[in-house]
Amino acid sequence: MATQDRLIESTQDLLWERGYVGTSPKAIQQRAGVGQGSMYHHFAGKPDLAAAALRRSAEQLRAVAEADLTAPGTAYERIAGYLGRERDVLRGCRIGRMAQDPDVVADPQLRAPVEDTFEWLRGRLAEVIAEGQAAGELAPAADPADTAAAVVAVVQGGYVLARAAGRAEPFDQAVRGALGLLAAHRTG
């Protein structure tokens, strides 16, 4: 793996584990196995590297979600696949955790990948819901944008509940509840 990629990957992991303030340049260098000169050769500083790491985390989240949402099946089945896929629930979402980091949300460069990812995810879920409505699979009564926002909120809130409890069951319960509500809008 190239030095630049090791730095980004190490920063991704450290941001997820420790948050922005807890991710020091020294910790990044140690995790990546590179010296200070290598880090500053590739990045202007910690904010630049953190922004690159957040963009990569966002790209990875989008790729996984897109795979779930374009899988074969009905709109309900694709959303159920997205909600039910394997996750490291107790670690939370790499992107969602950053939305709770005051240093990330205060910096427009760091906040942008977080904001853009959630906007994309809500939009993509709304498209799937609208497809289901157009195909007659889902009742037209549910607003696609509102329903998509609720699905994203269930996932992010489920992570918070699971982390607070120290176990995955609250996340799983939130997913089951969301699927039950979505199932009530199925027409077939």
Give me the pLDDT at residue 135, please.
96
Give me the pLDDT at residue 36, please.
87
Where are the chain's structural domains? 55-183
According to CATH, the superfamily of the domain at 55-183 is: Tetracycline Repressor, domain 2 (1.10.357.10)
Contact indicator for 167, 75 with CB cutoff of 8 Å: no
Give me the pLDDT at residue 158, please.
98
Average pLDDT, 10 consecutive residues per value, the chain (188 residues): 93 95 94 91 93 97 98 97 96 94 96 97 98 96 96 98 97 98 90
> How would DSSP label each residue in 91-145?
T--HHHHHHT-HHHHHSHHHHHHHHHHHHHHHHHHHHHHHHHHHTTSB-TTS-HH
Give me the pLDDT at residue 1, please.
74
